[in-house]
């Protein structure tokens, strides 16, 4: 079951810059157990609207069943790991 973490961000977003190293470290430590899809909301407003993103950063964890978890604001690694495990990563 493929698990995806969608990272909705913007280049001008300060909290998004705080979130980046957390995601990079998590992605490195978890190898290929999940994929990260970065969505720049300024360049891809259609996808942001589809997922009803209203604040940044927004992180959405999905699997074959759909959205498992949604986080708004800077999210700590422990919370992301718990959601990824729940999603089957």
Give the model's pLDDT for residue 47.
97
Q: Hey, what's the torsion of the CAs at 48, 54, 59, 61, to 10 degrees?
A: -70
Give the model's pLDDT for residue 1.
57
Catalytic choice (10, 13, 22, 74): 13
- Catalytic residue flag (residue 15): no
Give the model's pLDDT for residue 3.
97
Three-state secondary-structure class, residue 83: helix
Catalytic choice (3, 16, 59, 84): 16
Per the structure block, which two tokens stand in for 51? Answer: 């997922």
What pTM was estimated for this model as a whole?
Answer: 0.95
| pLDDT tens digits for range 17-75 | 999 999 999 999 998 899 999 999 999 999 999 999 999 999 999 999 999 999 999 99
- Catalytic residue flag (residue 13): yes
């Amino acid at each position: 079951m493929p698990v995806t973490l969608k990272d909705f961000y913007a280049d001008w977003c300060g909290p998004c810059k705080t979130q980046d190293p957390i995601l990079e470290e998590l992605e490195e430590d978890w190898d290929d157990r999940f994929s990260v899809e970065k969505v720049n909301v300024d360049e891809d407003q259609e996808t942001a609207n589809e997922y009803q993103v209203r604040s940044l950063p927004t992180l959405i964890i999905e699997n074959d069943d759909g959205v498992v978890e949604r986080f708004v604001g800077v999210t700590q690694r422990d919370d992301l790991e718990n959601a990824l495990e729940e999603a089957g990563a």
